[in-house]
Chain A
């Protein structure tokens, strides 16, 4: 327990120190303040986007050249056949990449097809690229992080399961810390919301989603600067699974309460049916937006305040910003766990509604 608590402030400190060192690079370059502001804004926007290479950090040399530290990831495209090449071909989005006779270029974190080696992205009036978009199944930075969390979770929990076998049903090591959380999910989230009889078959999903969101959120606070849950694709995927489980486990009562609400007059039933039906979609939609918005907002605010340190550039403003960033960082740690909790509780609640028996009505 104590190890875990100690781990968090260290992560936070590392986070702050990393950004401070970023700042130093910028300072040495001695850019005018307007540029610095723009750069911070751009950096934050860049951070919020997924990327095709695993960048740890980047800096600008004295000569004004951008240097990136990290490693490239495979780009997998489906464009009249499977095309796999390394993201290093893009040179961090600065050049056109060639694969199998086609040319591709990055634009706002997406890959577009261009005409030739010197082809350009054609933008419409709303700054949207009009170029053709190939189907993109690239292993991006976020996919790598998801895979990492996958590996970590599998390692942690399969070890925990093994320790039970070795110790006659008692947890050992990491399991001692994880067991109360697992039991918390079972006793405080699953059982009260779903019910003693039916909670068992949902436990796998609830536990996985809880730990997945939590760990992924915590990773988002590390200096590696990854943020999986502020991708709408990720939260949509999770919310969609919740929606599908809810829909497929819905019993007769659940559907009856949606299409033919008992206990209200017939005209009301007709009015309520579309509202209730819409409600079934709105619930997972809200799940998706809530997780996405909370984490994105947290990242934007935290990074903006860290950025403010370099904009103020005096001891009072910068130290106040530092303090604020520190407090906000701690708050974000809470948010990381809270959002995982909320997502799990609401999922459990929806499952509970789907399987509830209305015998007592």
Chain B
């Protein structure tokens, strides 16, 4: 121990202290501070850049999700529109059919009615024709009958007989 401190030199201690402290302060001002500052700002920059990249990635994912959603919605809408169109079409066809049926039924009814009236008219005409014919025939027959006296009496008699009976 004695030898250890026997070697102690105050001068060397003094110079070491002066030079070392000066070195610490000089290096702090001209080296350590700028170096550590640049390193930490660089590290900060890298961290920020990584974060920004991460955010961008997330945003992209969100966008993609949005797109997916929009696409889905569009698809659903298209589906709905198509369905509606189909429904409208079906309804139109249905309506058209119904209308056509109605029109046909109406026409038929009209036709039937016309036929009925025509038939009635024809029948009544036929009836009158038949009556006329019958009268003509009866006239001719009567004319024939009346040409003969005997026959005329006979007829009157029969007719009278009939009328009395009634």
Contact = CB atoms under 8 A, between A and B. Distances in A.
Contacts of B26: 154
Given A137-B11, A157-B27, A204 B16 contact: no
Contacts of B19: 143, 146-147, 150
A169 interface: yes
Would you call the interface of chain A mostly helix, strand, loop, or mixed? Answer: helix
Interface stretch (A88-96, A232-240, A304-312, A334-342): A232-240
Interface in B1-57: 4-17, 19-28, 30-36, 38-39, 41-42, 45
Given A150-B19, A161-B31, A208-B24, A234 B38 contact: no
A151 to B, nearest CB: 10
A186 B7 CA distance: 35
A196 B155 CA distance: 155
Nearest to A144: B15
Interface residues of A, number: 50
Contact of B20 (A137, A158, A238): A238
Contacts of A203: 32, 36
Contact of A49 (B7, B8, B15, B33): B7
A236 B4 CA distance: 11
User: Main SS of the interface on chain B?
Assistant: helix
B33 to A, nearest CB: 8
A179 B39 contact: yes
> Most chain-B CB neighbours within 10 Å: which of A147, A150, A200, A238?
A150
B7 A157 contact: no
A135 B15 CA distance: 13
A358 interface: no
Contacts of B17: 237, 241
Interface string A178-189: 010011001000
Contacts of B21: 241
B8 A233 contact: yes
A178 B20 CA distance: 20
Given A186-B36, A232-B4, A169 B45 contact: yes
A162 B10 CA distance: 37
A199 to B, nearest CB: 10
B24 A138 contact: no
A330 interface: no
B27 A207 contact: yes
23 contacts: A110-B9, A128-B6, A136-B9, A136-B11, A146-B15, A150-B19, A165-B34, A165-B38, A169-B45, A170-B42, A175-B35, A182-B39, A183-B39, A204-B25, A204-B32, A204-B33, A207-B32, A208-B23, A208-B27, A212-B20, A212-B23, A236-B13, A237-B17
Lowest 6 CB-CB distances: which A-B pairs, in order?
Answer: A157-B31, A204-B28, A233-B13, A164-B38, A161-B34, A233-B12
Given A49-B7, A208-B23, A231-B7, 11 more contacts: A139-B15, A143-B12, A147-B19, A154-B26, A157-B30, A158-B30, A164-B34, A182-B35, A182-B36, A241-B20, A241-B21
Interface of A: 49-50, 76, 109-110, 128, 135-140, 142-143, 146-147, 150, 153-154, 157-158, 160-162, 164-165, 169-170, 175, 179, 182-183, 186, 200, 203-205, 207-208, 212, 231-234, 236-238, 241, 289, 292
